[in-house]
Amino acid sequence: MNSTESTFPTNSSTVSTDDKTIAIVSYLTLIGFIAAVVMHGSKKTALGSFHLRQSLGLMATSVAMIFVGMVLAFIPIIGWLTGLALWFALIALWFMGVMSAVKGERKPVAVLGEHFQKWFNGAFE
């Protein structure tokens, strides 16, 4: 068992469809995130809270990457390729989050997921 499994226990067989819906919708653009927050307000669940924090972290990371991309844009070729690689990495993290939500799992996205849970601890409780 790795540290992720012990930190974020889950039992996907007990996850309801509403819980999964909130988790999935949270990753669908800013409007989807806001809709998921509203839905979560009426029925708070651990799965919904977890994925809302993951999604919020990914959105904050994308905003930070916009500023990093502006700087990298001034560095020919190497900067452009680095910026492109960062965006592909962010898309991969987003995909991992969506797949975890679809499965009803509380599995953090690679590299930053556990940090998102710590940084936004208490949000959406």
**pTM of the predicted model as reported, rounded to 2 decimal places:** 0.80
Q: What is the pLDDT of residue 57?
A: 93
Residue 116: pLDDT band with limits 50, 70, 90: very high
Domain membership of residue 95 as a residue range: 3-7+15-119
User: What's the rounded mean pLDDT across residues 99-125?
Assistant: 90
Give the model's confidence band at 2: pLDDT under 50 very low, under 70 low, under 90 confident, else very high: very low
* Residue 125, in any domain of the structure: no
Domains in the chain, number? 1
Inter-residue contact 65 to 86 (CB < 8 Å)? yes
Phi/psi of residue 104, nearest 5 degrees: 75, 25
Residue 42, phi-psi category: left (phi > 0), alpha (psi -120 to 50), beta (remainder): alpha
Q: ∠42-43-45 over CA atoms, to 5°?
A: 145
Is 69 within the bounds of a domain? yes
pLDDT grade, residue 30 (50/70/90)? very high
